[in-house]
Amino acid sequence: MNLVRNLYIHERFFIYVAVIAITFLVSFWFPILYSVAWLLVVVLIVFFTIDIYVLFNVNKGIEARRILTKKFSNSDENPIPITIQNNYQFRIEANIIDELPFQFQKRDLEEKAFINPQGVWEFEYTVRPVERGEYYFGKLNVYISTFFRIVSRRYKFQENEMVAVYPSYIQMKKYEFLAMSNRLTEFGLKKIRRIGHTLEFEQIKNYIIGDDVRTINWKATAKRSQLMVNQYQDEKSQPIYSIIDLGRVMKMPFEELKLIDYAINATLAFSNIALRKNDKAGLLTFSKKVDTIVAASNKKTHLNTINEALYNINTKYTDSDFGYLYALIKRKITQRSLLILYTNFEHVSSLKRQIPFLKAIAKYHLLVVVFFENTELDSLINENAEDLQSIYHKTIAEKFAYEKRLIVKELESKGIYGILTKPQNLTVNVINKYLEFKAKGFI
């Protein structure tokens, strides 16, 4: 029964059959080939039998392993290594077909390899998830053939393995590394000059290259006969909340990723940077009501708490209630905090309906409203209009882009900070604004 389930005819077999059929056909004109054709039939049957015997005579002819991490990083390329061990005493041809989760909509993942006796073959492919959640892998199928390639034997491994896709921890680690190594400018993060000294004196230390010469302590320098500088400590433990709108406006996709997932990835990376700066990071999500509240904290395990909360959130199909958000912030966030609000406005009219609530929030907190450029319109704006229809499309696209800039002006006129950003640049722009506020002593 095992033989019947796992025996497959190799595509080369049909070539052999076609050659025999042509030989029989030609034998009508050249009778001498009739005997040759029957000889080929016998040879094919013999080799067919031998092929089956050598492939199925061994219990575990190969061992294969798909190496999965416990979680994948959303919107990033995640590597999946595969290792195959050949236990046969001859060289084999392996055809590997991995059954990917349905979310990837990919059914053509296939690799071929020739593996020497007792040899090991390794390869790696990558997958890019664009949704959070549970991803189930099917069977890892390996089809083995001998040199004759008449039949194949199928081996199945690791069926029904699950991997959870979390917010982009790869992006988070990238920005964390750059922040710790002072290389943030490589990704567009600005070095912002600190204004004044709103800092607390910590100690006097030896001058090293790169220290601010304005902090040189001349009295200590005279006593020690070497340059000494005052070292200051940043103000710490400021509450910082990321607030994510779960309304239908955040469902819009760009480059296969929804706006809410851009906001989630940015929140995780930004919260990590804030915690590294010894500030308190918190999270709030809302639509018609508040879905999630994670109180601001700077505990070592707090980033995991935020990550788990971000993993489970999703958009709704309704408009969000900013009035309810204001009431909740007034009740729950009593200390003045930096609030990063991720939402989206397409028209000034939609912003004006929410301005009274945003002004009320900004009265007690440092509020930054983050919304998104429609990058799909860029191609329409930049193309040359050569006919009436193209002119019409370009005009409408420019009108939408202008509306976005008006929204920024409207927010500024009400004393509210705004960030208009392309989805791909969201994380960089949010961290820039945070560093700017830190440098100016706003938080």
Span 35-44, average pLDDT = 91
Spell out the alpha helix ranges (H) of 27-168.
32-56
Q: Which of 105-109, 179-183, 185-189 has the highest mean pLDDT?
A: 105-109
Say what the pLDDT of residue 233 is.
Answer: 56
Q: What is the pLDDT of residues 310-321, one digit of tens each?
A: 998 988 888 899
Instruction: Report the C-alpha gap between 53 and 67 in whole angstroms.
Output: 31
Q: What is the pLDDT of residues 256-276, one digit of tens each?
A: 899 999 999 999 999 999 998
Q: What is the pLDDT of residues 361-406, one digit of tens each?
A: 999 999 999 999 887 777 776 777 677 777 777 777 788 888 889 9
Give the percent of the chain with pLDDT over 70.
91
Mean per-residue pLDDT of the chain = 86
Q: What is the pLDDT of residues 141-161, one digit of tens each?
A: 999 999 888 999 999 998 889
Confidence tier at 297 by pLDDT (50, 70, 90): very high
Instruction: Report the C-alpha gap between 191 and 439 in whole angstroms.
Output: 10
- Its pTM surpasses 0.85: no
Copy the structure tokens of residue 435.
Answer: 């560093």
Confidence tier at 195 by pLDDT (50, 70, 90): very low
Q: Give yes or no for residue 108 having a pLDDT over 90.
A: no
- For residue 181, the SS3 value is coil
Q: Do domains 1-166 and 169-193+235-440 have the same CATH topology?
A: no
CATH class as words, domain 1-166: mainly beta
Say what the pLDDT of residue 236 is.
Answer: 60
Measure CA of the first residue to CA of the last residue in the chain; give whole Å.
72
Say what the pLDDT of residue 310 is.
Answer: 94
Domain limits, the chain: 1-166, 169-193+235-440, 200-233
Q: Give yes or no for residue 180 having a pLDDT over 90.
A: no
Cβ-based neighbours of 268, under 8 Å, separated by 6 or more: 167, 168, 169, 171, 172, 303, 306, 307, 310
Confidence tier at 206 by pLDDT (50, 70, 90): confident
Exposed / middle / buried, residue 124 (Cβ in 10 Å: 0-12, 13-18, 19+): exposed
| DSSP code at position 414 | T
Instruction: Report the C-alpha gap between 268 and 55 in whole angstroms.
Output: 51
Span 408-429, average pLDDT = 91
- Evaluate whether 71 touches 135 at the Cβ level (below 8 Å): no
3-state helix, strand, coil in the chain (%, to 5): 40, 30, 30
Say what the pLDDT of residue 432 is.
Answer: 87
What architecture is the 169-193+235-440 domain classified under in CATH?
A: 3-Layer(aba) Sandwich (3.40)
Q: Give yes or no for residue 1 having a pLDDT over 60.
A: no
- What DSSP string runs through 84-105? EEE-SSS-EEEEEEE---GGG-
Run of H or E including 427: helix 426-440
Span 243-254, average pLDDT = 92
Say what the pLDDT of residue 284 is.
Answer: 95
Kindly report the number of other CB atoms within 10 A of residue 307's CB atom. 20
Confidence tier at 191 by pLDDT (50, 70, 90): low
Tracing tokens 């989760």 back to the chain, one arrives at: 101
Cβ-based neighbours of 415, under 8 Å, separated by 6 or more: 359, 362
| DSSP code at position 118 | T
Q: Give yes or no for residue 234 having a pLDDT over 70.
A: no
